[in-house]
Structure 1
Amino acid sequence: MAESNGRDSESHGTVRNVVLVVLDTARARSVDVTGAQNGEDGARSGVDRPTTPTLNQLAAEGTAFEHAFATGPWTLPSHASMFTGTYPSEHGTHGGHTYLADDLRTLPEAFSDAGFRTIGVSNNTWITEEFGFDRGFDDLRKGWQYIQSDADMGAVVRGEDIHEKLEATRNRLFDGNPVVNAANILYSEVLQPSGDDGADRSTTWIGNWLDDRESDRPFFLFCNFIEPHVEYDPPREYAERFLPDGASYEDATAIRQDPRAFDCEDYEITEREFAMLRGLYRAELAYVDDQVAKLRRALEENGIWDDTLFVVCGDHGEHIGEHGFFGHQYNLYDTLIHVPLVFHGGPFIGGERRSDLVQLLDLPATLLEAVGIEDRALRDQWSSRSLLPDSDDGPRDAVFAEYVAPQPSIDRLEDRFGEIPDRVRSFDRRLRAVRTAEYKYVCGDDGFERLHHVPTDPFERVDVSAEEPERARALRRRLEDRFEPLESTEPSDSVAMREGTRERLADLGYL
């Protein structure tokens, strides 16, 4: 294990504790605080009202980053970047290789070695020890488990249809205590309260943990709320705030929500149905926003809010009919990589709105500097830059994103659906994107490329690569200067997976 230098003699402001909250699948355009929400998104849902008043208040008191970007369009590579400060092709965690390499230093390890209590609460089955995300945590809880157990039935939760869920159940039921496993499967698949995917249990558990803390030892707390992820199933009272005029809760929740089946033309979704789905999605954001408020109250009631750095972000976004997609795979549109990011506490008090380009992989440098931790091993590997107002790190003039391998794979889609559309088959490629304040360029290893002028085309509808070939070439060179050329890199399979992980992924068709 690499050594940490521990805490410096001075930290910034009164920050002692750090809380990092990830709103899984929260896109910037549907969250009020980023300034990215537009009339189109509100009009499509039929209601123009705030989704995230708690986040708005945090931003009004703290700092909101209006142009924050994920390094990838889905959970696994994005969290790996947040934990290691590296890009997907650097950390090697993606659809073609789903385990975080053991030799990578992680943010929780840096906090732990500096003397912090480290607590993780994950409601996304990708963010577990099965995929290498437990390193550095004293306790990493699984929100989908009724009884906490080392035997993880997350493979059942991740199953995309009943066949995959049954197959995973058959293969994993006797992995450990079958009674506990059966109870956890029954809870996650049948008994979990409607309208909540673990957020309420998570905030209740965190509140109890804070109440019962006996030590004044500083802590790092990570929490992933997954509710905005498909399937959108908000409580009725939330859904009815955001559904289009004339749409009932029953109509909206009856719509089939199967992104991969939609991609493969197994069924259709009308524009009216997408409008209802967007309403359900915004209702999910409103629900987890209230859970963030509950978490804040717990910190306040324990008298530690004022010396806690509280950070809320999305890990990636979502397509709900935009560009003809449903879900968050196969491309790098801003709908998927532009995310909310808000800081509260320490040097981020003041209600500032920052318009500079930042990345989620900037979190390690920012959080460690805020509490005065110098971790050489993490610093040596990262591409992270501190976002503190007085940091020596310079601002970014561009941000980057990568899609290293399709998830699920094209082979897996063929196994499930048989013949798949040529449009979907064309997504079997690697993609990279570079975005400046003025232009967004995306290219693939199959020759695909698109160029968009961001100020006049914020929704990336007009490809101007033919009209501005020199600009496209310059941005492609920028990508090749930052990364190896697409044509010379392949998805890595060099990192050894745990045997149990390999078996579970094979069971589900990932390998």
Structure 2
Amino acid sequence: MQRNMPPQEFLAQPFLILFCLLPMIGCGGPAQPPVPIDDSQPPDVVVFLVDTLRADWTGPGGFTKDTTPNLSSLAKQSVVFEQASSAAPWTLPSVVSLFTGKHMAEHNVVHDRLRMADATVTFPQILQEWGYQTVSFHRNPYAGGKWGLKRGFDQATLTKQQTNSSDLAEFFASITALPFLLYVHNTEPHDPHVVRKKFMSTFDPVPSEFLKEYGELVDVYRRSTREDYVSKKPLGTIDNTEIQEKWIRRLNRRREQVQNLYSVSVRDADDRLGNVIDALKQEGRWENTLFIMLADHGEELGDHGGWQHDQSAYEELIHVPLIVRFPKDEHAGQRISYPVSLVDVMPTILEAVNCPLEQPPMSGRSLLPLIRGEANFGAEMRVVSIRNNMKKYFKPYKEGRGDLNVVVRNGDLKAIFNVEPGTVELYNLRSDPGEARDLSKARSTEANELGQFAARRYAEMLKHSDHALAGDLNDQSAEVLKALEALGYLGGESAPPDAPK
């Protein structure tokens, strides 16, 4: 990059542009030719997030079913990070970490009654200041303005459906020859799994009666975990443990069917990924695009006895795909096995586009030195994820692991420091990717060392944390509330019903 592009030259005026384009949209005229690309300009940036996608349910992650043909094709043109961790096991803190390069203990958005501090800087802000056109299409409200995540976007749209190529028509029509940042956040395969009919029989057929039953199962189970939070009572005031255990048993009996439904939902999500990539190619933007595909967290499917997300720090929840395709397929074909975290995405983007603007302090670090073979992240201890539960209560989890868990990686070793009980779980993910054998007693010296590091590092983060601002779901717009309800994040005011045995 030879010069700093002044913002006043390049900032988009999205509302004016869309107003001018309205008479032309849908008129059936000839398609506009692709905008010519100047290779000397910074690349376009697309961050495509698939909500609730486990790394081990994808082709690049080794899944046996063909759930992700488009992602597998993309991986061949990209750098695949085999050991990427989400910064948190649920959407809001994870996406804030993605946008800021900071862990939850630093940005302090630990639940959905808090939003980002005004002083917290996001990578869309930096790119916008540099001159990028910046647009967000998000199906999950937690990626939106109510929590500060509209910051840095010229246009941020809470969509009513999963973003597809056809939904980007207005966006592409507004693009000038200047670089853009596009953030897409789709919610499949998040439950309740609204899958298009053409994919419902991709693997084992999904009976319609099971869809109805599953909707009831996840709705009542979720409400039974959140009753304290919804009623603004301390966690554990209402103990629904017996009810939850009954519903967990019922989910366990349907485990194969639930996993099949999840697979179908992943296949549907992958199709939308492919459509967006095709649209970029048709617009002539693909060659000079930095395309990053990732997930905010995974999903518990009975692996450690749990369901849904936010209730543990095991791999089914924090091991996510991270696939980075550079312009002109640079670095294509690399597979990197060193542990990384989604807090690393922001500095990676800023270095990849050669952004000269000052960057704020963050825990994340650019992955470019790792890609170029100039660094080795595997030979050191590092916090990669944090769970700080303030929303759900299940007595066995509370007594066993507590509500605050700090995850440290050191090569193949993964330690989970359970802060409240003061315990450490230790796993070798190379030999035991399913975390079935806790090595903390057999390798107590390493477990203690990693646990002590987690405690020190977490304390350091707290000393420099941002002051998240108080908010309340009661203040949210009707549109946001409706979208949250559709994803199962609201409800629970009435006691959940007991389950049939």
Is the shorter-chain TM-score for this pair beyond 0.5, marking a shared fold?
yes
SS of residue in 1 equivalent to 2:359: helix
- Residue type of the partner of 2:187? I
C-alpha contact (below 8 Å) 2:114/2:468 kept by paired residues: no
Aligned with residue 245 of structure 2, among 261, 265, 268: 265
Per-residue deviation, 1:129: 0.8
Q: For each residue in 1:25-46, what CA deviation from the matched residue of structure 2 results, as whole angstroms up to 9, or x when unmatched? A: 11111111133x3xxxxxxxxx
C-alpha contact (below 8 Å) 2:299/2:307 kept by paired residues: yes
C-alpha contact (below 8 Å) 2:122/2:151 kept by paired residues: yes
Matched, 1:448 2:423: yes
Matched, 1:18 2:1: no
Q: Which residue of 2 aligns with 1:279?
A: 260
- Residue type of the partner of 2:145? E
CA distance in 2, matches of 1:323, 1:220: 38
CA distance in 1, matches of 2:176, 2:460: 51
| 1:186-201 superposed matches below 5 A | 198-200=161-163
Aligned with residue 102 of structure 1, among 114, 118, 126: 118
Q: Which residue of 1 aligns with 2:129?
A: 113
- Residue type of the partner of 1:18? V
C-alpha contact (below 8 Å) 1:84/1:382 kept by paired residues: no
- Residue type of the partner of 2:186? F
Per-residue deviation, 1:358: 1.7
- Residue type of the partner of 1:322? D
Q: Which residue of 2 aligns with 1:406?
A: 389
Q: Which residue of 2 aligns with 1:223?
A: 184
CA distance in 2, matches of 1:100, 1:394: 32
Aligned-pair identity in percent equals 26
Q: For each residue in 1:385-409, what CA deviation from the matched residue of structure 2 results, as whole angstroms up to 9, or x when unmatched? A: 2336338665354442444532524
SS of residue in 1 equivalent to 2:201: helix
CA-atom RMSD in angstroms: 3.1
CA distance in 1, matches of 2:53, 2:491: 27
CA distance in 2, matches of 1:367, 1:13: 17
SS of residue in 1 equivalent to 2:264: helix
CA distance in 2, matches of 1:100, 1:64: 30
C-alpha contact (below 8 Å) 1:28/1:34 kept by paired residues: yes
Per-residue deviation, 1:483: 2.5
Q: For each residue in 1:171-195, what CA deviation from the matched residue of structure 2 results, as whole angstroms up to 9, or x when unmatched? A: xxxxxxxxxxxxxxxxxxxxxxxxx
CA distance in 1, matches of 2:42, 2:75: 17
CA distance in 2, matches of 1:260, 1:457: 29
Q: Which residue of 2 aligns with 1:248?
A: 207
Aligned with residue 496 of structure 1, among 469, 473, 477: 469
Per-residue deviation, 1:232: 1.9
Q: For each residue in 1:166-221, what CA deviation from the matched residue of structure 2 results, as whole angstroms up to 9, or x when unmatched? A: xxxxxxxxxxxxxxxxxxxxxxxxxxxxxxxx115x532213321x1352111000
Per-residue deviation, 1:15: 5.4
CA distance in 2, matches of 1:79, 1:349: 26
C-alpha contact (below 8 Å) 2:388/2:404 kept by paired residues: yes
CA distance in 1, matches of 2:181, 2:148: 18
For structure 2, list consecutive stretches of 5 or more residues without a partner in the other structure.
Answer: 7-37, 226-243, 482-489, 493-501
CA gap of 1:438–1:403, structure 2 versus 1, over 3 A, is: closer
Per-residue deviation, 1:252: 4.6
Per-residue deviation, 1:331: 1.3
C-alpha contact (below 8 Å) 1:131/1:501 kept by paired residues: no
Q: For each residue in 1:134-160, what CA deviation from the matched residue of structure 2 results, as whole angstroms up to 9, or x when unmatched? A: 11000000013xxxxxxxxxxxxxxxx
- Residue type of the partner of 1:386? L
C-alpha contact (below 8 Å) 1:331/1:403 kept by paired residues: no
Matched, 1:31 2:47: no
| 1:64-463 superposed matches below 5 A | 64-95=80-111, 98-144=114-160, 198-200=161-163, 202-210=164-172, 212-213=173-174, 215-243=176-204, 248-255=207-214, 256-258=217-219, 259-261=221-223, 264-265=244-245, 267=247, 268-346=249-327, 348-378=330-360, 380-387=361-368, 389-390=371-372, 395-397=377-379, 398-410=381-393, 421-423=395-397, 428-446=402-420, 447-463=422-438
- Residue type of the partner of 1:495? A
SS of residue in 2 equivalent to 1:228: coil
C-alpha contact (below 8 Å) 2:53/2:299 kept by paired residues: yes
Aligned with residue 458 of structure 2, among 459, 464, 483: 483
CA distance in 2, matches of 1:31, 1:119: 27
Per-residue deviation, 1:261: 5.0
SS of residue in 2 equivalent to 1:199: coil
SS of residue in 2 equivalent to 1:339: coil
Give the length in aligned residue pairs.
422
CA distance in 2, matches of 1:359, 1:464: 23
Per-residue deviation, 1:427: 5.8
- Residue type of the partner of 1:63? V
CA gap of 1:293–1:359, structure 2 versus 1, over 3 A, is: same
- Residue type of the partner of 2:357? D
C-alpha contact (below 8 Å) 1:27/1:335 kept by paired residues: yes
CA gap of 1:327–1:219, structure 2 versus 1, over 3 A, is: same
C-alpha contact (below 8 Å) 2:136/2:156 kept by paired residues: yes
CA gap of 1:502–1:271, structure 2 versus 1, over 3 A, is: closer
C-alpha contact (below 8 Å) 2:300/2:316 kept by paired residues: yes
Per-residue deviation, 1:384: 2.2
Per-residue deviation, 1:296: 1.1
CA distance in 2, matches of 1:490, 1:242: 50
Q: Which residue of 2 aligns with 1:50?
A: 66
C-alpha contact (below 8 Å) 1:404/1:491 kept by paired residues: no
Per-residue deviation, 1:370: 1.4
CA distance in 2, matches of 1:405, 1:353: 31
Per-residue deviation, 1:485: 7.7
